[in-house]
Amino acid sequence: MPESFNPWKPHPWHGLDPGPNPPELLNAVIEITPFDGLKYEVDKTTGYLRVDRPHTGSALPPNAYGFIPRTLAAERVGKLMPNSRGGDGDPLDITVISERPVTRAEVLLHARVLGGIPMLDHGLADDKIVAVLKGDQLYGHMEDLAQLPEAVVDRLVHYFSTYKLKIGEDKAAVEVGTPYGMEHASKVILSAIQDYVDHFMS
């Protein structure tokens, strides 16, 4: 028998920890994959994965996408984003790049952080942390966003700039800034962990 285990399935946001070695090595709960035509999102009350909305356009997420447990984009995260009115009140988003595609949602994986993409959603900070799958043979050795091929980063920026754009609209209510490296990503992650502590554990 294992020395310790959860007799009940923990809540994916509140019951899991941020990872083995934040901010470098994190847990990522995957909600959607590049093969999903629907936007899935963890239900904050029950922890079940629910359908948030169908993708209205033709673009699908280029990589596995989810969140970091026990993080929250609130006051501290908002202060790191120029022109924001605060954080968006959700767990910190993360997209995980891998040579072998993650083909199913609601899985837990270890992700090595490289950087992030700043995004304002209706004036609220909604950072997208960019990471690679731990142990990935193609990307797993990388330590900063600057090491990724430019085309991979450009694809992510384009996706996050347009994924909320509805057919017939010219502009979505999001603003995507210049991607940042590991140094700033570390500040965002640690701030999100502390925001979670401030709101849920104080």
pLDDT computed for residue 29 by the predictor: 98
Q: Which residues of the chain have pLDDT under 50?
A: none
Return the amino acid letter for 26. Answer: L
pLDDT computed for residue 3 by the predictor: 67
Asked if 192 and 124 touch (Cβ cutoff 8 Å), the reply is no
Domain regions of the chain by residue span: 25-201
pLDDT computed for residue 80 by the predictor: 98
Nearest to 109 by CA among 6, 11, 19: 19
Distance in angstroms (rounded) separating the CA atoms of residues 164 and 10: 30
Distance in angstroms (rounded) separating the CA atoms of residues 133 and 89: 26
Look up tokens 């999102």; give the residue: 41
Distance in angstroms (rounded) separating the CA atoms of residues 39 and 61: 9
Q: Is 76 exposed, middle or buried (0-12, 13-18, 19+ CB in 10 A)?
A: buried
Asked if 102 and 19 touch (Cβ cutoff 8 Å), the reply is no
pLDDT computed for residue 57 by the predictor: 73
Question: Hey, what CATH topology would domain 25-201 get?
Answer: Inorganic Pyrophosphatase (3.90.80)
Does an H or E element contain 157, and which? helix 150-162
Look up tokens 């904050």; give the residue: 44
The strand order across the sheet containing 119-121 reads 124-125, 119-121, 174-176
Which residues on adjacent β-strands are paired with residue 110?
Answer: 27
CA angle 71-77-82, nearest 5°?
155
Radius of gyration over every alpha carbon of the chain, rounded to an integer in angstroms: 16
